[in-house]
């Protein structure tokens, strides 16, 4: 990591990550990220019907998915899921303590927890952690913040984009954990993005939903869905004029999408047992929805992912996955490329140089292109290969 600052690079934010003993490993496990004042905020949470207490808390704080808050308190090592009323009280207590420490109201503080489920939070440790994090807010050690939200992640994940909006330099910074899911694996993805751009909550919400649709919501490691996925963006408004319709909005949307996209690719690359990132780009679909369904079918296919792992240019499995999807498919028009090399065209195998495709499949990033030749719908899904290590991680750990 080139700098120890990322999430606090945008003006108007402070953050800290500390160890409070939730993780048995003794690693950082509690983070606090706050604005100096109230900030515009937008939030997206898991669509799983079983959700953790922190997700319920956040939805209460921002029922419309956007509003003004001071920040977020995050712990790793315990997801506070399936913990009943007591868990809900604990989430509220975390918010209240973190808010009090920065002079805010409990309902101005979001909460996210990631880690083991079905266990009550060790609240004495959590309370000490929040106090320590609040005391360390000036320290500006953003790597400790990233580490404090990690679980089985093997790499720290952050992204920073700088742009100019209305004559002012604006920074969009993001950190994320996830896709290496931890035992028992239900609290997967957390992403926090900060910016000093001046964006009203409702606009921030709309732009964030759009950015997430093409990034976090285009990511699949194994088709399983966390009960705790939470992504939040905070805008302090310290840089430049208020963003409104026109070029400023488009540039800010692009910067936000770029940060979310970089974090998404970083999570896919660090998926459990992953050895490479796989991008599945579908074009020519009858609709955007069809493109999404087809891309996800390929990205979710264990057979495709095993083929990538084995560097096998197995177009048959890609065709199979597209065909099983609910997207409209005309087999006689279907085309597939792997690493830019045409392997299937107009519904028939195409002769190709297998060695070149195998080389591509052995690289860091594998690109699979599917053209349905039916319309203009396009979508790109992100995933990773499927390895024995995935099984080892998920079968050998005992709850």
Catalytic residue ranges? 188
Q: Answer whether 190's CB lies under 8 Å from 227's CB.
A: no
The residue within the footprint of a copy of itself, chosen from 315, 339, 369, 370 (CB under 8 A), is: 315
125, 102, 93, 119: which is closest to 28 by C-alpha?
125
For the CB of residue 234, give the shortest distance to a copy of itself in the complex, in Å. Answer: 28
What does the alpha-carbon distance between residue 106 and residue 251 come to, in Å, rounded to a whole number?
34
Q: Assess 397 for contact with a copy of itself (CB under 8 A).
A: yes
Q: Rule CB under 8 A: is residue 90 a binding residue for a copy of itself?
A: no
Pick 3 or 223: Cβ nearer a copy of itself = 223
Is the distance from CB of 143 to CB of 213 less than 8 angstroms?
no
Q: How far is the CB of 311 from a copy of itself (least distance, A)?
A: 8
Binding mask 239-278 for a copy of itself (x = CB under 8 A): ----------------------------------------
Residue 27's alpha-carbon distances to 116, 120, 146, 162, in angstroms, are 15, 19, 11, 31
Q: Which part of the chain contacts a copy of itself (CB under 8 A), choosing from 62-70, 80-88, 240-248, 280-288?
A: 80-88
Question: Does residue 181 bind a copy of itself (CB under 8 A)?
Answer: yes
Q: How many other C-beta atoms can be found within 10 angstroms of the C-beta atom of residue 308?
A: 28
Residue 263 main-chain phi, psi, to 5 deg: -65, -40
Residues 93 to 122: which contact a copy of itself by CB under 8 A? 117-118
- Contact between 312 and a copy of itself by CB under 8 A: the answer reads yes
Among 248, 270, 300, 371, binds a copy of itself (CB under 8 A): 300
Q: How far apart are CA 63 and CA 90, in angstroms?
A: 20
Q: Smaller CB distance to a copy of itself: residue 181 or 260?
A: 181
Q: Which residues contact 373 (CB under 8 A, 6 or more apart)?
A: 284, 330, 333, 334, 335
Footprint on residues 190-229 left by a copy of itself (CB under 8 A): 222-227
399 binds a copy of itself (CB under 8 A): yes
Of the candidate spans 22-30, 79-87, 149-157, 165-173, the one that interacts with a copy of itself by CB under 8 A turns out to be 79-87
**Total residues in contact with a copy of itself, by rule CB under 8 A:** 61
62: nearest Cα among 257, 242, 230, 236: 230
The token pair at 240 is 């430049």
Q: Which is nearer to a copy of itself, 202 or 360 (CB)?
A: 360
Q: Which of 48, 152, 210, 287: binder of a copy of itself (CB under 8 A)? A: 48
Between CA 321 and CA 296 the distance in angstroms is 9
Q: Which of residues 162 and 389 has its CB atom nearest to a copy of itself in the complex?
A: 389
Of the ranges 22-30, 59-67, 205-213, 320-328, which one interacts with a copy of itself (CB under 8 A)?
Answer: 320-328
Residue 108 is classified by DSSP as G
> Is there binding between residue 303 and a copy of itself (CB under 8 A)?
yes
Give the per-residue contact string, 333-362, with a copy of itself (x = CB under 8 A; - = no).
-x---------x--xxx-------------
At its nearest, how many Å lie between a copy of itself and the CB of residue 151?
14
Give burial (CB, 10 Å; 0-12/13-18/19+) of 350. Answer: middle
Distance CA 199, CA 342 (A): 44
> In whole angstroms, how close is the CB of 133 to a copy of itself at the nearest point?
27
The 3-state secondary structure of 230-288, one letter per residue: EEEEEEEEEEEEECCCCHHHHHHHHHHHHHHHHHHHHHHHCCCCCCCEEEEEEEEECCH
Per the DSSP assignment, residues forming a β-bridge with 186 are none
Q: Where do contacts with a copy of itself occur on this chain (CB under 8 A)?
A: 47-51, 81-82, 84, 117-118, 181, 184-186, 222-227, 300-303, 306-307, 309-317, 319-325, 329, 331, 334, 344, 347-349, 386-388, 390-392, 394-399
């Amino acid at each position: 990591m080139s700098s120890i600052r990322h999430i606090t690079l945008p003006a108007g934010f402070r953050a800290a990550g500390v160890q409070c003993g939730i993780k048995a490993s003794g690693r950082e496990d509690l983070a606090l990220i706050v604005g100096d004042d109230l900030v515009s905020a937008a939030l997206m949470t898991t669509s799983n019907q079983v959700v953790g207490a922190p997700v319920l808390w956040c939805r209460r704080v921002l029922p419309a998915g956007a509003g003004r808050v001071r920040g977020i308190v995050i712990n790793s090592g315990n997801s506070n899921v399936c913990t009943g009323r007591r868990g809900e009280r604990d989430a509220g207590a975390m918010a209240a303590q973190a808010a009090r420490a920065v002079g805010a109201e409990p309902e101005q503080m979001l909460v996210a927890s990631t880690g083991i489920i079905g266990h009550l939070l060790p609240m004495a440790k959590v309370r000490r952690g929040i106090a320590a994090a609040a005391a360390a807010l000036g320290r500006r050690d953003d790597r400790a913040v990233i580490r404090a939200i990690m679980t089985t992640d093997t790499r720290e994940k952050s992204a920073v984009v700088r742009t100019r909006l209305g004559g002012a330099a604006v920074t969009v910074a993001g950190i994320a954990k996830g896709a290496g899911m931890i035992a028992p694996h239900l609290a997967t993805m957390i992403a926090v993005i900060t910016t000093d751009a001046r964006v009203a909550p409702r606009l921030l919400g709309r732009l964030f939903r759009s950015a997430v649709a093409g990034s976090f919501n285009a990511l699949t490691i194994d088709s399983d869905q966390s009960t705790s996925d939470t992504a939040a963006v905070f805008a302090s408004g310290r840089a430049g004029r208020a963003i409104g319709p026109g070029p400023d909005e488009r540039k800010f949307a692009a910067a936000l999408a770029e940060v979310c996209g970089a974090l998404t690719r970083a999570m896919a690359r660090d998926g459990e047992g992953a050895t490479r990132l796989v991008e599945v780009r579908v074009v020519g679909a009858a609709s955007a929805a069809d493109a999404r369904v087809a891309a996800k079918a390929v990205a979710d296919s264990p057979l495709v992912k095993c083929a990538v792992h084995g560097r096998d240019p197995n177009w048959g499995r890609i065709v199979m996955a597209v065909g099983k999807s609910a997207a409209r498919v005309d087999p006689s028009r279907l085309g597939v490329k792997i690493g830019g090399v045409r392997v299937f065209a107009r519904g028939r195998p195409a002769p190709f140089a297998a060695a070149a495709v195998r080389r591509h499949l052995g690289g860091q990033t594998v690109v699979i292109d599917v053209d349905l030749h039916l319309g203009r719908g396009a979508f790109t899904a992100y995933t990773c290969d499927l390895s024995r290590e995935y099984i080892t991680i998920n079968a050998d750990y005992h709850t």
